[in-house]
Chains A and B, each alone.
Chain A
Amino acid sequence: MPHINVDENLPGIRSLMAFSPQTATPMGELANLLLRSNDTMSMADRELIATRVSYLNDCFYCQHSHGAIAVCYLGGNTELVDQVRTDYNNAPISDKLKALLSTAASVQKGGRYVTPQQIETAKGLGATDNDIHDTVLIAAAFCMFNRYVDGLASAAPTDMSSYPLRAKQIAEKGYGNHIFSNKQPVAETEGIKG
C-alpha cells in the first residue's frame, strides 16, 4: 500500500505525479529531453540505460516500464531488452553502449565510482561528450525516479500484460502529464488474462 493517499487506479510514478502535478511537469520535461532524443544516442539506447539502472536499483515498476518502452523502439525484441537489463555484457549491443552501461552502473552506486578510465574507454569506442553527459544524467535521474517510486511505496502492477500498453502510450506521445491525466490504457480484448 502506498505510504501516502494517492489515486489507487493509477500505478507507480503516475499516481505520485497525479498527487503532485506541479512537480510532475518538470520531471516529465526532463524525461523527454533525456529519453526522447536521437542526438548521437538513440531513444532505444537511452531507454536501455534507464532500464538497467532501474534494475540495479531493484525498482520493479521502473525497470519493467522502461524495458517495455525500449521493446517498442526495438521492434518488439523483448529478448534483447531482458538480456541488457540483467546481463548486458553478453548482449548483442555495441561496445560503445556496453561502456556507457558500465558508466551508468557506477553512477548508480555513487557518482564517485565513475573512473577516468571508464570515460576514456567509452570515448575510445566513439562516445561523444554528449553521450557521456546524457548517460550520467539519465543514470542520475533514474536514481531519483526509482527512489521516488519505491520511497513512497507506489503500486507496481503485477499483471505484466499492462506494461506494454502503457509503454505504447509513451512511445507514441512521449512523457508528460498526459500519462496520469488521460484514461489509463486497457487491453482491447478484456479478460484475455483470465
Chain B
Amino acid sequence: MPHIPLESHLPGITGLLEYRKDTGQPIRELTEILLRGESTLTRAERELIATVVSNGNQCQFCSAAHAATVDMLLGESETAAMVKADIPTAPVSDKMKALLTIADKVRESGKLVTAAHIEAAKSAGATDREIHDTVLIAALFCLYNRYVDGMATAMPADSSYFAMLADRLVNHGYYRLPQGYDHLK
C-alpha cells in the first residue's frame, strides 16, 4: 500500500505525478527533453538507458514500463531483454554498450564513472552531448526509481497495463494527458 493516499487507478509513477502536479510538471518536462527531444541517440537507445538503470535498481514498475517502450519502438522484445541480462553480449552498437556501461555505473554512484569508461565511449564515437545525456538520463531514473519505490506505489493488477502505457509514451510522450486520467478508472 502506498505511504500516502494515491489514486488507486493510477499505479506506479502516474499516481505520484497526479498527486503533486506542481512537482510533476518539471519532472515530466525533463523526461520529455531527454527521452524524446532532439538527439543523435534514437528514442529506443535512450529508453534502453532508462531500462538498464531501472532494472539495476530493481524498480519493477519502471523497468517493465521502459522495456515495454523499447519493445514497441523496436518492434521486438529481444533487445531489451538481452540488454537487461548482459550489456556486453547484447545486440547493440559498441557505442551503446559503452554508454549503457556508463549509465550502469552512474546508477551505483556517479563517482564510479572513470576516465577509462569515458574514453571507451568516445573512441566508439560518442559525443560530449551523448555522454552528458546518458549520465543525466541515468541520474533521472535514479530519481524516478526511488520516488516510485520509496512511496511504495502499486504495481498494476494486470501486466497488459504496460503495453497500454508504452503506447501512450511512444505516441503521446511524457507530458500530462490534456484530458487527465479519469478514463482509466
CB within 8 Å of B: which residues of A? Answer: 3-5, 16, 19-20, 22-23, 25-27, 29-30, 33-34, 57-59, 103, 106-108, 110-112, 114, 116, 119, 129, 132-133, 136-137, 139-141, 143-153
Nearest CB of chain B from residue A7's CB, rounded to whole Å: 13
Instruction: For B153, give the chain A residue with the smallest CB separation.
Output: A111
B110 touches A59 (CB 8 A): yes
Known: A26-B30, A114-B3. 16 other contacts (CB 8 A): A20-B132, A26-B25, A26-B29, A29-B25, A30-B30, A58-B111, A110-B58, A114-B149, A133-B19, A136-B150, A136-B151, A140-B143, A141-B143, A145-B139, A150-B111, A151-B135
B30 touches A23 (CB 8 A): yes
Interface assignment of B136: CB less than 8 Å from any CB of chain A: yes
Instruction: For A104, give the chain B residue with the smallest CB separation.
Output: B150
Q: How far is the CA of A151 from the CA of B109 in the complex (A)?
A: 7
How many residues of B are in contact with the other chain, CB < 8 A? 48
Nearest CB of chain B from residue A64's CB, rounded to whole Å: 16
Question: Given contacts A3-B118, A19-B132, A29-B26, are A148 and B3 in contact (CB under 8 A)?
Answer: no
The 8 nearest A-B residue pairs measured at CB: A111-B149, A150-B110, A151-B110, A111-B150, A26-B26, A140-B146, A147-B139, A144-B143
Instruction: For B30, give the chain A residue with the smallest CB separation.
Output: A26
Which chain B residues in 46-87 approach chain A with CB under 8 Å?
57-59
Nearest CB of chain B from residue A76's CB, rounded to whole Å: 30
B146 touches A20 (CB 8 A): no
Q: How far is the CA of A151 from the CA of B139 in the complex (A)?
A: 9
Pairs A–B under 8 Å by Cβ, sample size 28: A3-B113, A20-B132, A30-B23, A33-B23, A33-B26, A57-B110, A58-B111, A111-B146, A133-B4, A133-B151, A136-B146, A136-B150, A137-B147, A140-B144, A140-B146, A143-B142, A143-B143, A143-B146, A144-B139, A147-B138, A147-B139, A148-B135, A151-B105, A151-B135, A151-B138, A151-B139, A152-B113, A152-B135
Question: Can you list, as one digit per residue, whether each of B20-45 has a CB less than 8 Å from chain A (1) or not (0)?
Answer: 10110111011001100100000000
B115 touches A3 (CB 8 A): yes
A119 touches B3 (CB 8 A): yes
